[in-house]
Structure 1
Amino acid sequence: MKKLIFGLAIFGGLNTAHAQIDLGVKGGINFSTLSNYPTSKFKVDYSLGGYANYAITDQFSFQPEILYSKQGAGLKTNSNAKSRLVTHNINIPLMGRYEIMDGFNVEFGPQLGFLVSAQQKIKDGKTDIKTNVTDNFKTFDFGLNFGAGYKISDEIEINARITKGLTDINHNPDGRKTTNTYFNIGIAYKLSEL
């Protein structure tokens, strides 16, 4: 046991000596929907937040993020009214990243999601109706992310990511499993290095 702890301490020390941590901000466009939610379709919204990228080797890095994300779904109606479900979320992706070639990387990792609020919005002509539906959904969501990115420069990266929720977020006991699904296209900007 002592040898294992000693080996991990040496490895950690060597890693820290060569480690680089990049801090930055990122934002993007979300194309979101809810699976198994009645009459749902994709809707467009946005996400904003920050990240810390910890370089483990020249090719591997670990990147935790914290993002404010507007999700939900468009809802089909039988009239000319436009209806959508808008959820406000705080998401914490924990991404492992691998650089395949110079500037191009792929990423994979889990995501912890926390629902802040949910509203159903209906627009019928000049009439806007907003209904708070936060209690219809569970506040915690666990999902998986898959994505890729390309560094345009040392500071700027464009990226795309698919997030698939694994948690049933439907709070109503009707036997229908509802999960978050969204696709994000974004840009990240490195602010500093540690």
Structure 2
Amino acid sequence: MKTIKYIAFLLLSILITLPSFAQIWKNGTFEHKIVAGFNIGATTPLSIPAEVRSVEAWWPQFTPQLGYNVVYRTESKWGLGSGILLNYKGMGIRDRVKYMYTEVIPQEGSNSILKGYFVGKNETTVKTAYVTIPLYATYKASENWEMRLGGYASYLFSGQFKGHVSDGYIRLGDPTGEKVEITEKATFDFNDDLRSFDFGLTVGAERRINDRFGVYGNLDWGLRPIFPSDFRAVEFNMYNIYFTFGLTYKL
């Protein structure tokens, strides 16, 4: 019932303000741009889980962003932008964990899977490729600076979430279960468990260099965990949080 009331209030607010927005957005022009940038960030929980005792290393992957943006500019300082982007996101991390629940294959080519709570060294690699459609409002703060705020929706067409554990042991079933030593690398591969869709918030700015070129920075903050809620092999929610910097070219 509360959700219905909220939606009704939102629709009523839009209807009331629609004439004002129509006045602002009339007599506008379209601006078309090619964008090319680089994503850097992490697929990460929002806070460090208790299972992670120390982070030993982090490294980026090759994660370009390429695409096309179109902005509808009004006679005021406001505009509305969208487009389509090819977005690569990813990273690698090595950490030490204690009683982190996981599912690993003890030997290459083995059909057996060990499920339980691992203590030792963990190394994870994430590589994802999305088709992204952003939708955002723009505000021209000055002749050379433009701000943007909105959201995005992404479809995953290629994803990799894999790694290995080593130098430790796993307790099968629960933290008091049978202890199995992991001296060699035991691998995991959760590629097929990644969600196909991601969405979140986007905020950024662009600095004009000349009539054609500009530089931009953008933060995409994912609001949907990358794994479904019933996926147990990673017990904490992980989100795509990446900063993009690059160049724009006005067509």
TM-score by length of 1: 0.77
Does 2:48 match 1:30? no
Instruction: Find the partner of 1:145 among 188, 193, 202.
Output: 202
Identify the residue that residue 90 of structure 1 maps to in structure 2.
131
Identify the residue that residue 126 of structure 1 maps to in structure 2.
none
Task: State the identity as a percent.
Answer: 24
**Residue segments in structure 1 that go unaligned for 5+ positions in a row:** 123-130
The letter of the residue matching 1:19 is G
SS of 2:141's equivalent? strand
Distance 1:156 1:132 in 2: 42
Aligned length: 174
Is the 2:162–2:191 Cα contact (8 Å) retained in structure 1?
no
Please show how residues 19-168 of structure 1 align to structure 2 within 5 Å: 19-36=28-45, 41-44=58-61, 45-76=63-94, 84-120=125-161, 133-168=190-225
Runs of 4+ in 1 over 3 A off after TM superposition: 10-16, 37-42, 131-134
Point out the structure with the larger strand share.
Answer: 1
Q: CA RMSD in A?
A: 3.0
The letter of the residue matching 2:125 is R
**Residue segments in structure 2 that go unaligned for 5+ positions in a row:** 1-14, 97-122, 164-187
Distance 2:192 2:84 in 1: 24
TM-score by length of 2: 0.61
Identify the residue that residue 190 of structure 1 maps to in structure 2.
250
For residues 139 and 102 of structure 1, do their structure 2 counterparts lie closer, same or farther at Cα, with a shift above 3 Å needed? same
